[in-house]
A and B are shown apart, each in its own frame.
Chain A
Amino acid sequence: MAAIPKPEELANISFRPPGRKWMDTKPEFKEGTHCHAAAPKWLEWLDYPFPRSWSTYDEDWKLPKNWKEIFLVGFNDRLNKYRSLRLFMDICVRCGACADKCQFFLGTGDPKNMPVLRAELMRSLYRRYHTTAGKILGRLAGARELTEDVVKELYYYLYQCSECRRCSAFCPYGIDMADITILGRELLSSIGLGIEWAMASVGSCFKIGSHIGSPPHAFKDMLEFFADECEVVTGIRPRVPVNEKGHEILFIMPSGDYFADPGTFNCMGYLLLFEYLDLDYTISTFAAEGGNFGYFISHEMGKRLNAKFYAEAKRLGVKWILGGECGHMWRVINQYMDTWNGPADFLEEPVSPITGTKFENAKSTKMVHICEFTADLIKHGKLNLDPSRNAHIVLTFHDSCNPARAMGLLEEPRYIIKNVLPPGHFYEMPENTIREKNFCCGSGSGFNADEYLPIRLRGGFPRASAVRYVHEKYGVNHVGMICAIDRAVFPPLMDYWVPGVDITGIHELVGNALVFPGERERVVDLRKRPLKGKEKEAEKFLEEVM
């Protein structure tokens, strides 16, 4: 792996573009600057076009013989299918309002990471092949020929856009770079160009059941392990209903929540909450993945993975679906699922069995976000919470891009946080870096790959810089978040930029604070860290259980 420079060097960023015109510069495929090529195995699993071994470091990317035709036919097809694409190609005035809104531009200083220029990479092709001025005037009209170099450039920069939509919030016409990126990636994948991390996840999810490729029995085994862990800490062993028919609710979470820390603690939080409520629910091994890396490759692939949700809800005979904490998963559920795979007329309008609240905002999709569900429980006083068990945590909240800008889930998690933390333990980051103006973690949309860490750290710098601010000012020691990719990628990001800051999901905090009748006296949190004021008891307890 490429050596990673010190923070001081990495933060030394210049926003001055080079002297050479952008059409004359080419990206260099050095180590650490891009994601590696997808292995043929995953493409075969997906029946995806042109599986072959190839490498980004080679001059020859082994494109199919008529790649140009496929690309251009596909482009034309999408211009006729997506008003967004046609409109966004036509109306940009290059005012530059988006330029310094992208975390990848702020973190790398590479001018092609300005959303306007990233879009121009595609727009220049649109002009060349779909406008008269572009056909006649060529470069003077901002048009250029589609060549292998252009394709490589698209691969480089469309996979340096995390589809966070921050630029779209600032654009006077609402041009959505995420949409252009998705469609551009579709075209790349139609000629056999994909990134390993995303394709491996998609292949595994499609064939086996989740991005991490855990077979159904292994998935169940992991959940049982978390239930055991819950029992050690709380004395209560939550039920783990898997693939059981006839329950009221199907619960779907992102695989990040059962794959690695700190997501796993969040999963323990879910299990404890459901046990506390004696919720009539089941988990599925087939719809075992809430996340949807398919959406990072093409709309079609997104739909293929998402289709499982309703099919499994139908098979298991549930009434409605509850979804875990995840970012892009919720963009897909909120903006695509019903359109792709609905109508879900075999399900019922979701009603909280505990509070009786009708989730009218989800009456068609029939899927509720767990933060909506839990906030409602707290509001109605259905949870006995002891915030002092989170007293060792001073938290700031990282809005995840998709729940913020493709949904508007802003207050629900904050409401939960304020109820599970002692007063004075929650601090917001600076106003221009939260809510609809939040910064991406720098690894969204399929970038978790290790080989990509240098760029991820750069893309995450604006977010980290804001965390640094509250860390210094208020002693914040945890960042809370409702996104599984965030929980996976924040630890290395924080270790690099703001060491000493830990990551937590919101339902982990709920799990800590939840007081069960008949539970054992809690001396440690779900991570087995001593609670404040219980250090001695915790030491004894840990000796016993370890």
Chain B
Amino acid sequence: MSFNLAWYCSFFLVLVLIFVPIIGVTAGLEVVFGIIIPYLAILIFFVGMVYKVVIWARTPVPFRIPTTCGQQKSLPWLKRTLRDRLENPFTTWEVIGRMILEVFFFRSLFRNIKAQLRDEPSYPEKKRLVYWSSKWLWLGAIAFHYSFLVILIRHLWLFTEPVPSFVRLVEHIDSFFQLYVPAVYISGIVLIVALTYLLLRRIFDPKLRYISLFSDYLPLFWLLAIGISGILMRYFFKVDMTAVKELTLGLASLHPHIPKEHIGVIFYVHLFLVSSFFAYFPFTKLAHMAGIFMSMTRNLANNNRAVRHVNPWNYPVRVKTYLDQENDWREDMAKFGLPLEISVEEAKKLGKEKLEELADEEAARLYNKLSGNRHAPVFPETEFLRKQIKEE
């Protein structure tokens, strides 16, 4: 197995991210790593996410293109199951149901199947494609996202005083198994296991290794480093948690200060990894967190035939009209007894130019203004560039 450049680069970048705060804090830059960078990171995260969402949101959705995965609503007597309604929504409520399934339960990933080309000596082609239900990726993804969410919620105790009861409740449930003192949080273990699985499949599945980029390995290493530094801090290299809370509460209440008591450098490593991760988040594939809500194959109802969808930039295209066809084939059409708008004799009298004019008139009558006309440009967005060539 050979690691590629993307793997090495992302691994070493995370190593660098670990060493930067060690050097910085040793040099006495606690204010930079404890206050300035976290604030900057949060700012970048929010501004970045809003920027990203605004860019998506202001880009129009010209067509309503849901991917349908169940029976459509059609005839009044044709019964649809709940599954059909959630996988092929017709109403807004059904769309909301579909989105809940996607966002909270990763419905589409749960559909996953694995194809296998199996030997089948009795078939002339000697092979047969079979498909297995394959939920590992779904399980890994669910385990990772939910443990990450639980960990985020747990960390709220650092930023609140008094600590809200739901945070205490999550902490309590998360440390249900009292294996060790301090209590071991299950979410931390699940996170590390899930991330390791997600990383290993990228490395060991040849297909995935082939498609994986630097930006695919990087967040996995990054999150692993965040998780491991947190675990080390909690169970092994303990730091003064009162001092930590003093710092974090100061950040949250906008009265930031570095506590007098010394906090171990591992804390600053953890904090810097988290801060930099947040700052990195909006500009990468991780923006899928917000993007999934905007996916038009999921968040639109399959009711196109009942409710018209409007394309804000719909523009007229070049069309032909029925009269064009009749003008081209009039005599043959007459011979075969097809009804005509203009008889053969009359057409002869009118002449070519007049017939053209009539075709324009007919087109204007039959076609919607935004639909088309006989002289509209082709690919208007690049028409000027094509003209340039012609002129030269």
**Chain A residues within 8 Å of B288, by CB:** 90-93, 173
| B85 CB to nearest A CB, Å | 11
Q: Are A315 and B310 in contact (CB under 8 A)?
A: no
| B304 CB to nearest A CB, Å | 5
How far is it, in angstroms, between the C-alpha of A86 and the C-alpha of B382 when the chains are bound? 19
Is A142 engaged at the interface, CB distance under 8 Å to the other chain? yes
Q: Which of A111, A117, A410 contacts B71 (CB 8 A)?
A: A410
Is A58 engaged at the interface, CB distance under 8 Å to the other chain? no
**Chain B residues within 8 Å of A285, by CB:** 325, 333, 338
Is A533 engaged at the interface, CB distance under 8 Å to the other chain? no
Give the segment of A9-17, A477-485, A520-528 that binds chain B: A9-17
Give the segment of A147-155, A213-221, A252-260 that binds chain B: A213-221
Give the segment of B19-27, B127-135, B168-176 that binds chain A: B127-135
Q: Which of B111, B307, B314 contacts A340 (CB 8 A)?
A: B314
Is A99 engaged at the interface, CB distance under 8 Å to the other chain? yes
**Chain B residues within 8 Å of A165, by CB:** 67
Q: Are A338 and B67 in contact (CB under 8 A)?
A: no
**Chain A residues within 8 Å of B308, by CB:** 338-339, 342-343, 364-365
| Interface residue ranges of A392-422 to B (CB < 8 Å) | 404-412, 415
| Interface residue ranges of B289-318 to A (CB < 8 Å) | 291-292, 294-298, 302-311, 313-314, 317-318
Q: Are A311 and B366 in contact (CB under 8 A)?
A: yes
**From DSSP, what is the main secondary structure of chain A's interface residues?**
helix
Chain B, 84-123, contact with A by CB distance < 8 Å: what is the 0/1 string? 1001101000000000001000101101111101000011
Q: Are B65 and A176 in contact (CB under 8 A)?
A: yes
**Chain B residues within 8 Å of A176, by CB:** 65, 67, 297
Q: Are B385 and A69 in contact (CB under 8 A)?
A: yes
| A206 CB to nearest B CB, Å | 6
Chain B interface, number of residues (Cβ within 8 angstroms): 123
| B307 CB to nearest A CB, Å | 6
| A176 CB to nearest B CB, Å | 5
| Interface residue ranges of A190-208 to B (CB < 8 Å) | 190, 206-208
Is B367 engaged at the interface, CB distance under 8 Å to the other chain? yes
How far is it, in angstroms, between the C-alpha of A206 and the C-alpha of B378 when the chains are bound? 14
How far is it, in angstroms, between the C-alpha of A415 and the C-alpha of B77 when the chains are bound? 12
Q: Are A47 and B59 in contact (CB under 8 A)?
A: no
How far is it, in angstroms, between the C-alpha of A217 and the C-alpha of B338 when the chains are bound? 7
Is B38 engaged at the interface, CB distance under 8 Å to the other chain? no
| Interface residue ranges of B323-366 to A (CB < 8 Å) | 325-326, 328-329, 332-333, 335-339, 362-363, 366
Q: Can you list 8 residue pairs at the A/B interface with Cβ under 8 Å?
A: A49-B386, A84-B296, A141-B213, A208-B325, A312-B322, A376-B75, A407-B72, A468-B128
User: Which B residues are closer than 8 A to A by beta carbons?
Assistant: 4-6, 9, 52, 55-56, 59-78, 84, 87-88, 90, 102, 106, 108-109, 111-115, 117, 122-129, 131, 137, 141, 201, 205-216, 283-288, 291-292, 294-298, 302-311, 313-314, 317-322, 325-326, 328-329, 332-333, 335-339, 362-363, 366-368, 371-372, 378-379, 381-382, 385-386, 388-389, 392
User: Which A residues are closer than 8 A to B by beta carbons?
Assistant: 7-8, 10-13, 15-17, 21-22, 46-50, 64-66, 69-70, 73-74, 77, 79-84, 86-87, 90-97, 99-101, 106, 111, 114, 116-117, 120, 131-133, 137, 140-142, 165, 168-176, 179, 190, 206-209, 215-217, 220-221, 242-245, 285-286, 298-300, 303-304, 307-308, 310-312, 314-315, 333-336, 338-343, 357-365, 367, 369, 372, 375-376, 379, 404-412, 415, 430, 432-433, 436-437, 461-462, 465-466, 468-469, 472, 497
